[in-house]
Amino acid sequence: MIPWLAQTTPFSCGPASLMMAMAGLDDKYQPSPLEEINIWREATTIFMTSGHGGCHPLGLALAAADRGFSAEVWVNIEGPLFLDGVRDDNKKRVMSLVHDAFLAQCERRRIPVYYRDIDQLQLVDLFDAGANILILISTYRLDSKKAPHWVVLSGYDDSCLYVHDPELEDLSSVTLRKDENKDPLDCQYLPIARADFAAMSRFGGNRLRAAVVVRPGRRRRKPRERT
pLDDT in tens, 141-175: 666 666 789 999 999 999 999 999 999 875 444 33
Mean pLDDT of the chain: 88
Residue type for position 45:
T
How far, CA to CA in Å, does 197 sit from each of 20, 74, 203? 21, 16, 12
Q: Do residues 85 and 49 touch, judged by C-beta distance below 8 A?
A: yes
Query: What is the per-residue pLDDT for 168?
Result: 86
Pick the CATH number of 13-171+178-215 from 3.90.70.10, 3.40.140.10, 3.40.50.300, 3.30.750.24: 3.90.70.10
Report CA Rg, the chain.
Answer: 16
Q: Name the 3-class secondary structure at 179.
A: helix
pLDDT in tens, 10-41: 999 999 999 999 999 999 999 999 999 999 99
Query: What is the per-residue pLDDT for 147?
Result: 79
Instruction: Provide the whole-model pTM.
Output: 0.90
